[in-house]
Amino acid sequence: SIAILLYLARKFKTPDHWYPSDLQKRARVDEYLSWQHVNIRGKGSKLFLTKVLLPLISGQPLPPEKLEGATEELNVVLKQFEEKFLQDKPFIVGNEVSLADLVALVELMQPVGAGYNLFEERPKLAEWRSRVEEAVGKQLFQEAHEGILNAKNL
């Protein structure tokens, strides 16, 4: 949860780039963390539920129009994310990775785990993903997402 991440960042005095002490940078992190709940998280989770969990529970694939609708909704927020938050910066806050980047990428891994490669036709997003993975550590990132990336195989 966002509240736990912020608590941990404060309690353990993580490096400043994760949750910056500079008020303007922190405001950018907070802005994204507030926006993402109903946007990236909401639309990404909906696609994951539609494509993976509901068919698993019901034993039936969902009608293609429901899947198309969920995909279109996600594409709208991905465009907003690129234009509003990433712009032409390496990371959401600027030149350093933050909790906003980490939360964003973790949420985007749900649709990827459902088999929707949302990075394929979005070079800006794909480059950002690589930078975030590199900042966290590629092996750690892959280990952390192993379960969700294999969800489509259920």
Average pLDDT over residues 20-39: 97
Total tally of structural domains belonging to the chain:
1
Domain of residue 44, CATH code: 1.20.1050.10
Q: Which domain holds residue 29?
A: 24-150
Tell me the per-residue pLDDT of 78-87, one tens digit each, with 9 for 90 and over: 999 999 999 9
Domain assignment present for 3:
no
Alpha-carbon distance 140 to 67, whole Å?
31
Give domain status of residue 19, yes or no. no
Tell me whether residue 72 is in a domain.
yes
pLDDT per residue as tens digits for the range 43-86: 999 999 998 988 889 988 888 898 899 999 999 999 999 999 99
Nearest to 93 by CA among 17, 38, 39, 41: 17
DSSP 42: H
Report yes or no on 122 lying in a domain. Answer: yes
Q: Does 28 map to a domain?
A: yes
How many of the other CB atoms lie within 10 Å of CB of 50?
A: 21
Assess if residue 4 is contained within a domain.
no
